[in-house]
Structures are given as C-alpha cells and as structure tokens.
Amino acid sequence: MIRGNTTNRSFTRLISAFAPYWLTLLFVVVPQIAHGDDAAATVDFDRQIAPLLAARCLDCHNATEQESGLDLSQSKTALAGGDSGEVLVPGSLDESLLWDYVSGDLMPPKKPLSDKEKALLKAWIESGAKWGRDPIDPFRFTTSARAGYDWWCLQPIAKPELPDASENPVDAFVRTKLKQRGLSPAPPADRRTLIRRLSFDLLGLPPTPEEVDAFIADKSPTAYEDLVERLLASPHYGERWARHWLDVARYGESQGFERDKLRDNFWAYRDWVVQAFNNDMPYDEFARLQLAGDILKPGDSSAIAATGFLVAGAYDEVGQKQQSAAMRAVVRQDELEDMVSVVGQSFLGLTVNCARCHDHKFDPISQAEYYRMTSALAGVRHGEREFQPNTLFDDYDQRLKSIQAALAELQDKRERLIAPIRQQLLARRHDEIKSITPPEPISEWLFDGDLRDSRGTLHGTAAGEAVVVDGRLVLDGEAAYVSTAPLDADLTVKTLEAWVSLPDLKQQGGGVLSLQTLDGNVFDAIVFGERQAGYWMAGSDHFRRTADFGGTKETAADDDFVHVAIVYREDGTIVGYRNGQPYGKSYQKPGPVAFPAGDSQVLFGLRHGSPGGNRLLNGSIDRARLYDRALSHAEIAASAGVKQLVIDDSEILAAADSHLRQQLDRIDFETDNLRSQLQRYRADKVYANVPDKADAVHVLRRGNPAQPADLVSAGGIAATGIATADFGLEADAPDADRRRELAEWITDPKNPLFARVIVNRVWHYHFGTGLVETPNDFGFNGGRPSHPELIDWLASDLIEQGWSLKHLHRTIVTSATYRQSSQFNSEAAAIDGDNRLLWRKAPMRLEAEDVRDAVLSVAGQLNPQIGGPGFYDFTTHVQNAQFYDMRDPVGASFNRRSLYRTWVRSGRSGFLDVFDCPDPSTKTPARAVTTTPLQALSMMNNSFVLRMSDHLAERLTKEFGDDPAAQIRGAARLAFGRRAADEEISAGTAFIKQHGLPAYCRVLFNSNEFLYVD
C-alpha cells in the first residue's frame, strides 16, 4: 500500500496559541525591520528571516526543487551549501557566497532584494545566522507581504459578547462602530420603500400595489416581521437566491470551448438549488450534497443532481479526445483546477487554485496541499447519470399535461390561422390533379430483366453481386451497385424518384438513386438513414445540400415498396416525398448543383464514389425515374398514384403574408421549445459528476504534468487548524472516501471559514457589499472585515441555529441597520465615503435578471412557473461546433423568470449582458455595476421592452379605463409602488394624448426610479 506524506501540521498548537488574542492580530503583523547597530540583537529568524527566505529564495531552493543543488529550507542543507560549495558561513559575510549573490543583485534573478531586506539578511548572517523553526515553515506568521496561520479568518470562531443585548445583534455591532467614528444611522425608511426593498431583495420581484397597500395598512406591531415571513415562505425566494449561488457556481448549460454543445440535462441542478433554498436546507447539508451527494445519498436522485456543482464549469470535449496523451493530461489538470478553485472559493473563501504551480504567494497554502485537494476531487468526471426528473416535483404529471395542453392550444391556433390558405390551396390542387397526367421522365429504369434506361441512354452496368430478379434490382449492401453511362445533357434542376424496399431498417447510409460527377466528389442522392437511423435524407457532398427533413421514421415492412422522391428546385429548395406526400419540411440550400453532360452519371445502391464504408444499400429497387425539372406536388402525387392530398407547410408559408408568416414563426418556435422541454422533462439523465477511479496524485513541479514529484493523498488545508483537514487516507483511497472526507472537513462546524464565508456572502447580497468585500477571497489579497465581531457572531449563530439560512436572512433584514433609509448624508460621506460603516442603506440597481423580471411582472406578463427545463432564447445549429443565434422569443412560455433561460456560454443574452450579467464561465462572487450607453439603447429599443410597453398599456387600459390620469396613477402604483404626483399626471397626460400610452410605458421602464431600489 502506498502511504502519502500527509503532513499534519500542529493543529492543536495553532488553536491554543492564537485563540486568546487573535482579535488583536486582525491586521497584518509587520515584522520589525532592524535599524543600525542594534540590528544584530533584534533579528528574529522566525518572524523576519524565514518569511524573507520563503518569499524570495525557497521557490527555487527547496527540498524538492534544489536549484544548483541548494536547499535553503532547513538549517542542515543551508549550511551544507550547493553545487558551488558552502554558501552560508555564520558570522562571516565575506565567506558567505549567499551574501555575494544577494548583495551583487545576482540573486534572486530578475528582482533583487530591497535595501531593507538586504540589511536584514546581513544582520542575520553577521549575528551568527541563528536558525529558528526547522525546517522553515513559511506560513507560520503573517508578514507585510503574506498571510500566515495567524491570519484573522483562520482563527477559530468564538461567539463575541453582544455590546448591547437588548438590541438586534446586527445593530449592536454596527452602532458601536458608527459611534466610534461619531456617526449615527439614517432614519428608518418608510413602509413603501421597505416593501419594495424587501421584495426585490428576497424575491427579485416588485411588490404588487395590493401588497403595498396591505403592508401600509397593517396596524400589527409585527407587520414588518410578518412581511419578512411571508416573503421567505414564497417559492420565488428560492429562485432569487439560487441565481446568486449559480453565479458563484459558474453555472453554464453548455460545454464551452470549441464545441460548446448544449447541456440539455443540466437544469435539474438549478432546480435542486432553488428547492434547497426554498426548503431552507441546512447550509452544511447544502454543501455536503454538492460535494458528495452521490456518495452520501446514493439512492437519492436529487442528491446526484446536486453534484452538478462540481462539473458546472466548461468541459473541453475536443481536448479530452485529442491524440496527444501529454496534452490530454494538461486538459485534465486544467479541469481539476477549475474544480479545486470553485470548491475552495465558494465554501472557504480560499483561492487554493493559486497554489497549482508553487506555494500560494499570499496565503498559507502549500503546493502539496493544492494537490491534496486535487486528489480529493480526482475521481470527479463530467458526464450524464441516470436520473428521475419526477422526483423533483410533486406535480410532475400535471406539468407534463400542461405542456401538452399548451402545445395543443398552439397547434389549434396555428391551424386556425392557416385554415383559409389551406382550403384555397387544396381546392386549387384538386383542380390541378384532375387535369394532370403523370409527368414524363428523361430516364426510367424498370428493371424488367435488365438494367436498361427505357426512355434515354443511361443504361446501367452491374458491379458486385447486383442482380435483377422478378423485375427488381436486388442489392446486397456489401459490394453490389449499378452505375450508368454518362449523362448526355447537363442536369441542374431535377427530380429523383424510386420505389424501394428495405429488409433492414437499421442500416445507415446506403444510397438508393444518386446523381454524381464521375469522380464521385459531387453528388445528390436519395439516401437512407445516414445521419439519423430510419430517416430519409437528401445526401450530398459534405452535406452541403443536406438538412433534416424532419419526416417520419421509416416503418415499411421489408417486402413493401416505398415511393421516395427528392425535388431540387431552381431556387435551391429541396423537397422530399414519401409515397407521393411531402416528407417533413422542405428547406433551402445554395444550389442546385449542375451535373455536366459527359462527366456525370447515375448510381443505384451506392451513395457516391467508390464502394465501401456505409455507402452501399441493402434493398431492392422496383423502378426508378429521373426528371430534368422540378416536379410539382401534384405531379409527384400523380406519379405515385396518390389521390389524397396533403398541403406542404412550405406551400402555406409561400402563400402567407409577412404578418402571418411572423405569427407562424413565433408559434413554431414556441412549439419546438415546448416539445424540447417535454423531452427534457422525460429525459432520464442529468449532467452531474460521473465518478471514475480516482488516480493517485503527485505534486506536479511548476504545475507541469510531465514533471511529477511527491505522491500525495487526499487532504484539506492544514491552515484551517482542524483535525478533519487530515483525511487519514492512503494515496490510493477510493473516490468515495476522498470526497466524503472532503465534505466532512469543509462542513466541520469547527472549520473557521465555512460559516464565516456564507454569512458574508448572504450579507453581500443584502447590502451590496460584504462585510468582507471579496466574498470568494478571505486571504491576504482579499478585503479585511469591516465588522469582524459581527461576522463571528452571525457565524456562531448560524451554526447554533442548525445552519438555517432563512434564520440568517431574518436576523439581517429585521435589523434597524437594514431598515434605515438610503438618505444621503454629506457629513457621513466625508468620513466614510464607501459607507462601510453602514450609516445608511445603500441604494441598489436591479440586477440584469431582475430588470427583465420586473418588466414582465409590471406588464402583467410574468409566467410564474417554478422550475422545470429552461426555455431557449436562441435557435441553434451544429456545424462541427454548436452555434447559437439569439432571438427575442414571443409567447407565454418564454415569459418565465430569467433564471429559466438556458445559460449557454457562447449564447449570451445581449439584453441581460448590458446590465452586467456575468460570463457563465467565470466564478462571480460579486457582479459589477456599470452604466453605459448600450444599456440606454437596449432599454429604449429592444423588441422585448417595446412589446412589454404594449402589454403594460393594455393592462392599464383594462384596469383603469381610458382616462390618462387614471392610467398614470395606476402605472405609478405598479411600477414604483407609490402614488403619482400632480405634476407627473399633468406632464404624463399631455404626453399620452400626443404619443400614446405604450410610448409612456416605455419611458417608465427606462426611468431611474424603475431601475433602482432605495
């Protein structure tokens, strides 16, 4: 058995040594820099020299790297020297080669030591180069350049005493700080402001006018608390807070990189998060399931969905499949880094990923520890797993039924819209068919005993075992095919037609009737099942003129002859037929291609070119025809002997005016979307962690997979100072053990980071800024806590309250600090411009999704459906990679909250983007808030805003009648939650009379008051 070198740093020492006085160590411990003559006396190896050597020398001269044979990390090796001999002679600068290099600026290369650093080193050598802790532990103390084990957030959480037990704890701590700076809080906000603030904060939606009225009229002393409870119990709460978590989790519904394939079955993770928030799942459980749900609750379908967290990032499909094993290893390391970083940052506020190539430059995380965490996640793989979507919903069947009902309604609507055109076309067709005689082909093969062309000169020659039996050409699918003499006239516009029977409906790729150039490079052909088993298609070179007809799957019995025809029209339209009726939908491609006389021929049974691969057909052809023109529907029907007629959709579209075409296009887009949702509801797969055997993990020198160093076993970050950071596992432990231990360590109530980080994250969303401004980074590079005791009090309280996040929300939003007004105070601003001390509640702009959701809500169009597969606001096509063309979809099923759009990495929504919606590939702990002209253009001009302006106008007219003053009053209540002022009514009335109500609504959506919350 392999035993990894799990270094168990002295946890108990840390705890006992620092717990009592860590509060005084909140900020950087700056080493005393030696001055003048007394330098020798004051040099402290552990506090001054060790950090210096660690920061400037040990990257290259350590136990594993040993550049020039030198290891400066321990006294023995430092004194022994390197390839050039002795480097350090205590007490003698002249004999210390180290000093020569350093004082001559030869070392460290690139960036020599500062004068102060040199002075320190000089003093140390002169005073006898006394060593302290051995080997050097570079993380022992915080210095002016980095954090050590004594860093504030790594100390155990002790619940501080409340300064004033009679107050809300939040206020108690906040007021103390305000007082210290001579500041006082703003007055309480009024009830209108409060309900709008709370509604957007907890639900991401505006309150209705009725809710505003009720709250204002509520005389109960607990009116506010009751409101908080009502909102926390709303299922929309989970939607709002899930979106925050998805930012952190880098939730993307496509693979990213080159292919960016859709992750159709990833929505269940999103719904799991929504439900976890709504059910107030204890936060430790929430974390555990995302790290190891598949192990902890193997029988629980939703726990498997939870592991989507680990694989929510991009996946390099092409990179994983490339030929080069060396490059594949790099791709896998990149993937693991993505996971280590999301786990470290989201749950612990530690940027563990910065230690992939070397020890962390700023935080006490060694490179070996990075690889220990990598080892903990080494069994995690992207993929799809068995899943039962019905376990997510109580009303699963009802959901399917309502989609089916919506589909039926759309179909009805469509039928009603096209009925008049259909009737017209049918009548015309009946007239045509009566007068039509079957069309005349230029070539026809009856296979009555031979391969002759009974109309022209394209006589066939058999190859392989192609034989004519009982008036049919029989092809074995192995080597048999027939090729004809070259064409005697050019052929561009054309129709191919054949009667064929197939003994094997699973075969893929065989050609029935092909027209090709003699070299086989260009061809048009009737092909069976090549791209999709069971379906007919128009085969062509590089699929240039191929698209899915979307016809029905072939089911004909093996002795049944099916009539198949493909028409190539002048304008490039390609129409398929089966048994005389249109086969699916026609489509248009560049073309048609000209097949030159003398250089082209017909093939039977071979798709094109030379026989081989999947090109050969297994089946019989009864007869076949070739036409030098595009037959009409009626002619095809006549040729096939069909009397019943179907009108092809392309004919209807051709006959429709542009308005109707647009209506149909919207219906079709929504229909496709709902069908796809139905399919995804029924898919028994979820994109999640599909664990594989966890490899043994080595430290990689400079992060390079080609340079493995020490073997490590799975483990946590020792600087957290708790026993569970040592997983006690062998290096080859199974994945399940590694992740179980990982989850246990992270969620350990004694873990100093886990509770602090979530408390701060929640605070950040309520106030716009965290108590620590960098929610993903509590390290040296991150922000310092503005109210450290408050974080600790809230963290302790969270743990005591069983990790209930709703309890945490309650504590925060019922505080006077949260309920104060956003009124500006120039005196306070002069003292604390950033409002870190919370002398007011900072106003906030709506986030991108809230802008869209609020517009929908106010316009009365919001579809409140919670959960389920997302909608597509794009059309997509695959051309090696998957591409997304964004569109503004119209229809009730698209008017769901923005959370439910499909978050494709390369298919970003322009409308949401301008409002700072983040790139789904980045881990976003805090969104930026920018103000740009593109925002103004989007809000003024985007088709969505204009459409919703119409809907709001309709709503206002319906609810408040035709009087502009009444409409304006209603609009102000809906959009702003307040009464309209007189001058608003007079200005608005004049505007509405001249420019109409929709134009007025458009202005409201653009107003600052709509987009900002006080």
Partner 1 sequence: MSINNLSPTRRDFLSWSTAGIGAVALTDLLARDGLVADEAGAAPQIIQHHPAAARRVIHIVLNGGLSQIDSFDHKPALEKWHGKPLDSEERPDVFFGKVGNLRQSDWQFAPRGESGLLVSNLFPHLAELADELTLIRSMTAETSNHTPATFQEHTGFRLNGFPVMGAWLSYGLGSESDDLPGFVVIPDTRGVPAGGSINWTNGFLPVRHQGTTLRSTGTAIDDLFPARPVSATTEQASRQLLETLNRRHLESREGNDELTARMRSYELAAKMQLAVPEVSALESETRHTQQMYGLGGKETNDFGRSCLLTRRLLERGVRFVQLFSGGAFGSPRINWDGHEDMVKNHTREATRIDQPVAALLRDLRQRGMLDDTLVLFTSEFGRTPFTQSDAGVLGKGRDHNQYGFTVWMAGGGLKHGTAYGATDEFGLRSVEDVATWHDFHATVLHLLGIDHERLTYYHNGIQRRITDVSGEVIDGVLS
* Binding to partner 1 in span 723-782, by CB under 8 A: 767-769, 773-774, 776-777, 779, 781-782
Q: In whole angstroms, what is the distance from residue 763 CA to residue 767 CA? A: 6
Amino acid at 901: R
CB of 717 to partner 1, least distance (A): 13
Alpha-carbon Rg of the chain, whole angstroms?
36
- When binding is defined by CB under 8 A, the residue of 845, 852, 901, 973 that contacts partner 1 is 845
Smaller CB distance to partner 1: residue 18 or 883? 883
Q: What's the token pair of residue 713?
A: 């076993």
Going by their DSSP bridges, the two strands 587-588 and 573-578 should be labelled as antiparallel
User: DSSP letters along 834-847, please?
Assistant: T-TT-SSPPPEEPP
- Work out how close the CB of 320 gets to partner 1 at its nearest, in angstroms, rounded to a whole number: 10
Q: Which is nearer to partner 1, 313 or 580 (CB)?
A: 313
370-429: contacts with partner 1 (CB under 8 A): none
Q: Is 353 helix (H, G, I), strand (E, B) or coil?
A: helix
Q: Taking Cα atoms as reference points, which of 366, 346, 353, 362 lies closest to residue 780?
A: 362
Whether 105 and 114 have beta carbons less than 8 Å apart is answered as no
Q: What is the DSSP string of 624-650?
A: EEEESS---HHHHHHHHT--S----HH
Q: What part of residues 946-975 is at the interface with partner 1 (CB under 8 A)?
A: 946
Site residues for partner 1, 247-306, by CB under 8 A, read 250, 256-260
Instruction: Confirm or reject binding of residue 917 to partner 1 (CB under 8 A).
Output: yes
Taking the least distance from each CB to partner 1, the nearer of 114 and 1007 is 1007
Classified as helix, coil or strand, 697 is strand
| Stretch of 216-224, 313-321, 596-604, 856-864 lying at the interface with partner 1 (CB under 8 A) | 313-321
Binding piece for partner 1, criterion CB under 8 A, among 229-237, 289-297, 350-358, 619-627: 350-358
Cα dist. 52→31, 97, 102, 779, 1010 in Å?
A: 10, 17, 12, 19, 55
Give residues 178-217 in contact with partner 1 (rule: CB under 8 A).
none
Single residue of 596, 749, 783, 891 touching partner 1 by CB under 8 A:
783
Stretch binding partner 1 (CB under 8 A), from 115-123, 396-404, 515-523, 917-925: 917-925
Nearer to partner 1, 256 or 389 (CB): 256
Stretch 856-915 residues interacting with partner 1 (CB under 8 A):
879-881, 883-884, 888, 905-908, 910-911, 913-914
What is the distance between the alpha carbons of residues 491 and 363, in angstroms, rounded to a whole number?
74
DSSP category for residue 95? T
**Neighbouring residues of 704: CB distance < 8 A, sequence distance ≥ 6:** none
State the minimum distance, in angstroms, from the CB of residue 881 to partner 1: 4
Binding to partner 1 in span 557-586, by CB under 8 A: none
Question: Which of 905, 908, 902, 919 has the alpha carbon at shortest distance from 868?
Answer: 902
Among residues 683 and 999, whose Cβ is nearest to partner 1? Answer: 999
- Say whether residue 543 binds partner 1 (CB under 8 A): yes
- Angle (CA) 225-227-232 rounded to 5° is 95
In whole angstroms, give the CA distance from residue 717 to residue 376.
11
- Give the nearer residue to partner 1 in terms of CB position, either 399 or 545: 545
Residue type, 721: G
Q: What is the DSSP letter of 560?
A: P
| Count of positions (residues) in the chain | 1014
Which window, 67-75, 210-218, 488-496, 990-998, contacts partner 1 (CB under 8 A)?
A: 990-998
Q: Residue 330 or residue 433: which is nearer to partner 1 going by CB?
A: 330
User: Quick one: which segment of 44-52, 404-412, 433-441, 818-826 binds partner 1 (CB under 8 A)?
Assistant: 818-826
Name the one range near partner 1 by CB under 8 A: 129-137, 623-631, 926-934, 951-959: 926-934
Please list, in sequence order, all residues whose beta carbon lies within 8 angstroms of the beta carbon of residue 327, skipping any fewer than 6 positions away. Answer: 319
Among 824, 864, 979, 993, interactor with partner 1 by CB under 8 A: 824
Select the residue interacting with partner 1 from 94, 559, 833, 982 (CB under 8 A): 833
Mark 118-137 as b/e (b = at least 16 C-beta within 10 Å). Answer: bbbbbbbbbbebebeeebbb
Sketch the per residue contact string, 73 through 102, with partner 1: x for CB under 8 A, - otherwise. Answer: ------------------------------
Task: Report the half-sphere exposure of 215 (CA within 13 A, side-chain side).
Answer: 25
- Of positions 247, 369, 847, 853, contacts partner 1 by CB under 8 A: 847
d(CA 111, CA 329): 33
Restricting to residues 47-76, which ones interact with partner 1 according to CB under 8 A?
Answer: none
Among 2, 233, 318, 557, binds partner 1 (CB under 8 A): 318
Q: How far is the CB of 901 from partner 1 (least distance, A)?
A: 15
Q: Does the protein bind partner 1 through residue 21 (CB under 8 A)?
A: no
Instruction: Give the binding range for partner 1 (CB under 8 A) out of 83-91, 167-175, 233-241, 982-990.
Output: 982-990
Provide the minimum distance between the beta carbon of 397 and partner 1 in the complex, in angstroms, as a whole number. 38
Residue 1012 in contact with partner 1, rule: CB under 8 A: yes
The number of beta carbons lying within 10 Å of the beta carbon of residue 986 is 12
Q: What is the rounded distance in angstroms from the CA atom of residue 765 to the CA atom of residue 758?
A: 11
Q: Is 919 in the site for partner 1 (CB under 8 A)?
A: yes
- Residue pair 177/945 in contact by the 8 Å Cβ criterion: no
Residue with tokens 């270094």: 7
Least distance (Å) from partner 1 to the CB of residue 784? 6
How many other C-beta atoms are found inside a 10 Å radius of the C-beta of residue 738?
Answer: 28
Binding positions for partner 1, 929-948, rule CB under 8 A: 929-938, 940-943, 946
H or E element at residue 155: none
Cβ closest to partner 1, residue 326 vs residue 654 = 326
